[in-house]
Structure 1
Amino acid sequence: MMDFEVDIRTLLLTLVLGNLFTLLLITSYRRRYPTEGIGTWFVVAKWLQSLCWFLLLLRGRIPDMPFIPISNAAMLGGGGLEIVSLLSIKGCFGPAVRRYYIALSVFSVILYGGVYIVHNQENLRIAAASFAAMLFVVYPAGRFGLGREGSPLQRAIGLLYGGMAVIFAARSVSALQNGPSQTVFTPGHVSNLYYLGMFLLMNLGTAAFVLLSREQSLDELKRMAMFDELTGLLNRRSFLELAQPALDRARRMRETISFILMDIDHFKQVNDVYGHAAGDRVLREFAAAAGGALMGEGLLGRYGGEEFAVLLPGLDEGSSDETIGRLNAAIGGLSVEGVPLRYSVSIGVITLIPGSAATLDYLYRLSDTALYQAKREGRNRVVRVEPGCGGS
């Protein structure tokens, strides 16, 4: 069987040059797309990693003290900041994770410092640094690799970090087994895997950060396209897109469905008297109260202006009346800062088992007719309309 050996100093040189080239690319990228998510921490991470590999490359030509501790600190710091950058992009770097990495950093300093001061053998330093590095990559391996909602890209990143965790663990054990003869330049299968793994991690880690940043930007664009910016509710287009499958299912299963259209009474007066900023607060408070009253039932969206729509699959007249009662109770109790009046809503509703003619436009038109009947009858009331022929 052919032995596979690599020249470690050559790999170290490629790691230095690779990280510097990455920094050049990222700097150019940031100048062209300054608002996208290539963060400062990632740049700092690449500088630290470049410093680590450069100091290792100069090993034997510069004094061991203080450059060995500096090199290891740069490795753990650079790797840690790269992980933090990736986790932050996906919103995974919360308080608990932050505390974990702070504690892990303190532990790593104590572990490596203790070895360096008490029993300064290179194999023990390698074992300590590799063990600490393993603990750093275990969380992103699980978070990205095992997350049910993760994209294929995230699972690939998790797999990469999982592989590096295994390599770090193997390197730590190998260093302990080999004894004092083990150095960072000692050849062997584990050392080869370690340096090749770091080379792969350098390239794929950078690609992952850029791709995750783009993925985040696309997610934000999708969110902006789906939700109303002011209220945070589904906009009209998204509401209709999500409502159509629910209506189709009700038609196939011969299930009851209710469509509710709500309009805030005298909303123009709020804008004219108290200003559009106050009107915006009214809309936001209304949306929050309506969402809370629905308790996760059905779909709620802003149809336009002060008009809101609710689709309630599976709810008959009695159940939809209960939901409307909760909506009225929640909205009637609102008092918006800067608007010294309590406002009300007019509601039009239709409940039916949809037939072939019962399109979303059909439901809207009938509910709209009922809504304006409620307006004509004095507002602050509910009018229920019966479906016409073909609707059910």
Structure 2
Amino acid sequence: MTLLSIIGFQLIVLFYNEENVRISYYSFVIALILMPVSRLVLGKASTFLMRIIGSLYLLVIAAFLIRGVTALLSSTDSISFYTPGLYQLISLLSIYLLTNLGNLGFVLLMKEKADHELIRLASYDDLTGTLNRRTFTEKANKYLTDYSKKGQPLSYLLFDIDNFKTINDTYGHHVGDQVLQDLTTRIKLHLGKEDLFVRYGGDEFGILIPGKDETDSNQMAEQIIQTLNGAISRSLPMTYTISLGVLTVFPNQYTQLETLYTTCDEALYNAKSNGRNGVFRGQIDVHNAVS
């Protein structure tokens, strides 16, 4: 766009070298080049700082559009930067302020982006994009407290990949990583915004589903099993399955996440003992939950 703008300006100089036309042309071109910055204001993921910086540049765009129209409709002297007067003073002061504010704004945006990246790296598993254990534990404990007050159920799913060690030994760890990524991508399609998806380590994962009873969690578990059962991926040389333990509780003030994990881990073990590629529901004992 910049190259075409330069070529267009040279054509104006060659064939219609009027100052007001030149001023109007480059004013419109600069406004057009800056137009993508409107995404800072209109983007759904825009932060408060991004909206401020975007609004600042929208004012600059509006100013150049007004200047371009003014250049076509008025005399050259009234809109030239090189003619001493009030317009020149206001224009140069505005350029100075906008340049400094713009530079400061982009430094702050870079810092904000770096801070978000650090938070992401501290909260999510780098390979699969799922929550790491520490962040999951913090969020899950808050869910246990909130849903204990609401008197509503929580369901917990724990699963791992059947014969994952054999996959790594046969095809290599690179393929094993691809399996983990394929697994999480497929499962995320079944999760809601409030669901917590964690990678504990290796091929062991957990999902905490707020507000879901036994029927709902059974249905989700079966959907996940069916989604992965024999699913063929172009990036993988083989298919894979998972075994899954599922548990539903109505938490109270004494319910511990570790108790849910232990109980669901036993259910997962039973699912594997039953031949793998299946679901086993665990039942938590009230006395164990209140410990």
TM-score, normalising length: structure 1: 0.65
Deviations 1:36-78 (A, max 9, x none): xxxxxxxxxxxxxxxxxxxxxxxxxxxxxxxxxxxxxxxxxxx
Aligned-partner Cα distance in 1 for 2:59–2:234: 55
2:195 is aligned to: 298
Deviations 1:119-170 (A, max 9, x none): 4222332232223223333441x32234453233322312321222233234
Aligned-partner Cα distance in 1 for 2:199–2:189: 15
Find the residue that maps to 2:168 and give its secondary structure: helix
Aligned-partner Cα distance in 1 for 2:21–2:170: 75
1:261 is aligned to: 158
CA distance 1:107–1:336, change in 2 (3 Å): closer
CA distance 1:276–1:107, change in 2 (3 Å): closer
Gaps of 5+ in 1: 1-101
The size of the alignment, in residue pairs, is 288
Contact 2:242/2:277 (8 A) holds in 1: yes
Aligned-partner Cα distance in 2 for 1:321–1:358: 21
Aligned-partner Cα distance in 2 for 1:382–1:306: 17
Gaps of 5+ in 2: none
Deviations 1:340-386 (A, max 9, x none): 65433222111121112223222112111222233344433322122
Deviations 1:8-51 (A, max 9, x none): xxxxxxxxxxxxxxxxxxxxxxxxxxxxxxxxxxxxxxxxxxxx
Find the residue that maps to 2:75 and give its secondary structure: helix
Q: What code does the residue aligned with 2:52 have?
A: A
Find the residue that maps to 1:309 and give its secondary structure: strand
Contact 1:228/1:302 (8 A) holds in 2: yes
Matched, 1:278 2:175: yes
1:355 is aligned to: 252
Aligned-partner Cα distance in 2 for 1:173–1:273: 69
2:110 is aligned to: 213
2:100 is aligned to: 203
Find the residue that maps to 2:109 and give its secondary structure: helix
Contact 2:225/2:278 (8 A) holds in 1: no
CA distance 1:121–1:337, change in 2 (3 Å): closer
Matched, 1:329 2:230: no
- 129-138 vs 226-235, which moves further: 129-138
CA distance 1:384–1:191, change in 2 (3 Å): same
Q: With a CA cutoff of 8 Å and minimum separation of 6, indicate the structure with the bigger relative contact order.
A: 2
Contact 1:294/1:327 (8 A) holds in 2: no
Deviations 1:179-227 (A, max 9, x none): 1445431133333222222222322333333333333233222222222
1:154 is aligned to: 50
CA distance 1:177–1:192, change in 2 (3 Å): farther
CA distance 1:119–1:260, change in 2 (3 Å): same
1:165 is aligned to: 61
1:229 is aligned to: 126
Contact 1:164/1:197 (8 A) holds in 2: no
Amino-acid identity (%): 36
Larger helix percent = 1
- 330-339 vs 275-284, which moves further: 330-339
Q: Report how far residue 336 of structure 1 moved.
A: 6.2
Contact 1:124/1:176 (8 A) holds in 2: yes
Residues 86-235 of structure 1 mapped to structure 2, 5 A cutoff: 102=1, 106=4, 109-110=7-8, 112-113=9-10, 115-140=12-37, 142-182=38-78, 183-235=80-132
Residues 69-84 of structure 1 mapped to structure 2, 5 A cutoff: none
1:311 is aligned to: 208
Residues 12-27 of structure 1 mapped to structure 2, 5 A cutoff: none
Aligned-partner Cα distance in 2 for 1:385–1:245: 22
Find the residue that maps to 1:136 and give its secondary structure: helix
Q: Report how far residue 171 of structure 1 moved.
A: 3.1
Contact 1:144/1:158 (8 A) holds in 2: yes
Aligned-partner Cα distance in 1 for 2:73–2:233: 70
Aligned-partner Cα distance in 2 for 1:114–1:340: 58
Aligned-partner Cα distance in 2 for 1:190–1:105: 30
Q: Report how far residue 262 of structure 1 moved.
A: 0.4
Aligned-partner Cα distance in 1 for 2:237–2:135: 34
Q: What code does the residue aligned with 1:206 have?
A: N
CA distance 1:143–1:292, change in 2 (3 Å): closer
Q: What code does the residue aligned with 1:192 have?
A: L
Contact 2:229/2:277 (8 A) holds in 1: no
